[in-house]
Amino acid sequence: MQLKKEFIERLQKAKKIVFFTGAGISAESGISTFRGVDGIWNKMKPEELANFDAFMRNPDLVWEWYQHRREIVHNCQPNPGHNAIAALEQYYDVTVVTQNIDNLHRRAGSTKIFELHGNIERNFCVNCHTFYNSPDLEITYTAPKCKKCGGLVRPDVVWFGEMLPQDQYSGGEKTAAWSDICFVVGTSAVVFPAAYIPMQAKHNGSYVVEINIEPTELSRSADYSIFGKSGEILPQLLEEIKKIKEQQL
């Protein structure tokens, strides 16, 4: 893999690196992205499913959609892209800031993760806010009821118009701002406030490297864009980094 000289120099000096990831990193695990040719939102309108009003209007429909996606996630495995990010912890202080709800970074072995849009394995009661992990709930295709108060239980994911979890956002934002290199992998970078994070990293002097199959909203401001599948690019990058680190010994 031929890397830009400036990027190699950054890799030699870097200590803290951040991976800001989106749906594209899980595409090669078999999980559909949201936008683009094969995106799920070509078939479904986000405003009909991914917002609180839609859930309150038709909780069973929205719950069934998430149950279906939970099953897909359970049958998927982390791909070489997730695994390469986890392996990079041998060489750098690595933090993952992900918009994904699919848990695949954790399953791949990454240890420092900020989840900006929640996690499909967690749920909570809209009434009394009791949390329920998915394995503790009976598998149902209708929205479950809270065992404490009978309220509706919803997935702990961030829908349009909802605030992001404050600790996850501010943790992700700070880590990216202090990073030496910020990789932006498999995201269209159109959903805010998440998409501010790589912009802030750049503003604070981090070197922004985009990995995507096609140009995105961020390409103009990225320091370096590598176009290709993240499940192929990231393992190659890991090999290049191993060589760089061996030379530094």
For residue 70, give the nearest of 156, 163, 129 by alpha carbon: 156
**Which stretches of the chain bind Zn ion, using CB under 5 A?**
125, 127-128, 130, 146, 148-149, 151
With DSSP H G I counted as helix, E B as strand and the rest as coil, what are the percentages for the chain, rounded to 5? 40, 20, 40
Distance CA 122, CA 153 (A): 10
Residue 51 CB, shortest distance to Zn ion, in Å, is: 21
Spell out the SS3 assignment of 35-67.
CCCCCHHHCCCHHHHCCHHHHHHCHHHHHHHHH
Among 101, 181, 201, 209, binds ligand BJW (CB under 6 A): 101
C-beta of 131 vs 192, nearer to Zn ion: 131
Min separation Cβ 154 and Zn ion, Å: 11
Candidates 28-36, 103-111, 175-183, 198-206: pick the segment binding ligand BJW (CB under 6 A). Answer: 28-36
- Locus of tokens 């750098």: 92
Phi, psi of 219 (to 5 degrees): -55, -40
79 binds, among ligand BJW, Zn ion, none (CB under 5 to 8 A by kind): none
Q: Which two tokens stand for residue 216?
A: 């995105």
In the residue annotation, 74 being an active-site residue is answered as no
CB of 153 to ligand BJW, least distance (A): 16
72 counts as binding ligand BJW under rule CB under 6 A: no
Which of 22, 59, 171, 172 is the binder for ligand BJW (CB under 6 A)?
A: 22
Candidate ranges 1-9, 124-132, 142-150, 210-218; the one touching ligand BJW (CB under 6 A): 210-218
Contact yes or no for 193/135 (Cβ under 8 A): no
Q: Is residue 27 close enough to count as binding ligand BJW by CB under 6 A?
A: yes
- How distant, in Å, are the alpha carbons of 5, 235, 239 from that of 84? 22, 5, 9
CB of 133 to Zn ion, least distance (A): 15
Closest to ligand BJW by CB, 134 vs 212, is 212
Q: In what order do the strands lie in the sheet with 153-157?
A: 131-133, 118-125, 153-157
What is the spatial order of strands in the sheet that 181-185 belongs to?
Answer: 113-115, 93-98, 16-21, 181-185, 207-212, 224-227
Shortest separation between residue 247's beta carbon and ligand BJW, angstroms:
28
Alpha-carbon gap, residue 45 to 140, rounded angstroms: 23
Nearer to Zn ion, 70 or 145 (CB): 145
Residue 158 binds: one of ligand BJW, Zn ion, none (C-beta under 5 to 8 A by kind): ligand BJW
- Which residue ranges make up the site for ligand BJW (CB under 6 A)? 22-24, 27-28, 33-36, 39, 50, 99, 101, 117, 157-158, 160-163, 186-188, 190-193, 212-214, 216, 229-231
